Amino acid sequence: MLKIENLKAKIDERHVLRGLNLEIKTGELHAIMGPNGSGKSTLSNVLSGKKGYEISGRITYENQNLLELGIEERAHKGIFLAFQYPLEIPGVNTNIFLKSALNAIKKSKGEKELDAIEFLKIVKEKALKLNLGEEMLSRQLNVGFSGGEKKKNEILQMSVLNPKFSILDETDSGLDIDALRIVSDGVNSLRNKKNSFLIITHYQRLLNYIKPDFVHVLINGKIIKSGGPELAIELEKKGYESFN
C-alpha cells in the first residue's frame, strides 16, 4: 500500500528525516517509536501533505507518487491523520464538519452523498461505541473538549470516514487508562485486510491494546531497527540510548 524510499525532509534549514525507508502492505499495522526530535511527527506531516518541508526521495501510495498529490487528493484517496494536538475550530459544528468531510470523499469517488438523516444514524452509532455523548456532536469542533475527548473525536472521525491508510500521531498522549482503552478499541474495530495503519507513539503501553505487526525504531531521522511487538518491550526496558 505504502512504500517510502530514501525520504529526506528539512524545514527552516534543519534536516529532520535523513533517508528513511519503510514499506507498509495492505492489512498491516506498523508502529514507529522514537525519542523527541527523531522525526516522527515530521513523517506524519509529510505523508499527510503538510506544506513547508523541503522533500526528496520517493513515496508510493497504491502505485501513485504521493508527493504529487495535494492534501485534499490524499484525503480523497483514503489517507487520514489523527493529530497529536487536535485543533479547536470555533464556529464549526462537529456534525456538520463530519458530514461535509464524508460527503466530499463520497463525491470524489462518484458515490451518492448522504442526507442528514442517513448521516446522523451512522455517526450516532459510531459515537456510542466510543462512549461519546450525542451532545458532543452538536458542539463546536473540539472547542472546550478535554484532551481525551479530542482524541476520541479524532477516532470518531476515522471511524466515520473509514480510510484506507490511517496515521495516528501520538494519539495516546495525555490519555488516562480508560480513554486509552476506548481509543484502542476504536482502532481495533476498524482493522481489516483492506486497510493499513501507522501508529506513532513514545510508549509501549498503547501497543498492549493495539497489537502491531511490526515495530520500528526511529532515531535521528532514520529507522535504525525493525522487529515484531517484542521490540517495543525491549525499548521500554532499555530506552533509546541502547540503540544509538
Is pLDDT at 133 greater than 80 in this prediction? no
Q: Which CATH number fits domain 2-243: 3.40.50.620, 1.20.1250.20, 3.30.1490.190, 3.40.50.300?
A: 3.40.50.300
Q: Please check the confidence at residue 173 and state whether its pLDDT lies above 80.
A: no
Q: Give yes or no for residue 244 having a pLDDT over 70.
A: no
Predicted confidence at residue 91, as pLDDT, reads: 86
pLDDT, one tens digit per residue, over 93-109 is 888 888 999 999 999 88
pTM for the full predicted model: 0.88
What is the average per-residue pLDDT within 127-135? 77
Q: What is the mean pLDDT of residues 57-69?
A: 94
Lowest mean pLDDT among 20-29, 109-118, 130-139, 181-190: 130-139
Computed over every residue of the chain, the mean pLDDT equals 87
Mean pLDDT of 167-188: 80
Give 158's contacts (C-beta < 8 A, 6+ positions apart): 80, 82, 166, 186, 187, 190
Report the alpha-carbon distance of residue 164 to residue 161 in Å, rounded: 9
**pLDDT of 140 above 80:** yes
- What is the CA angle 184-189-190, rounded to 5? 105
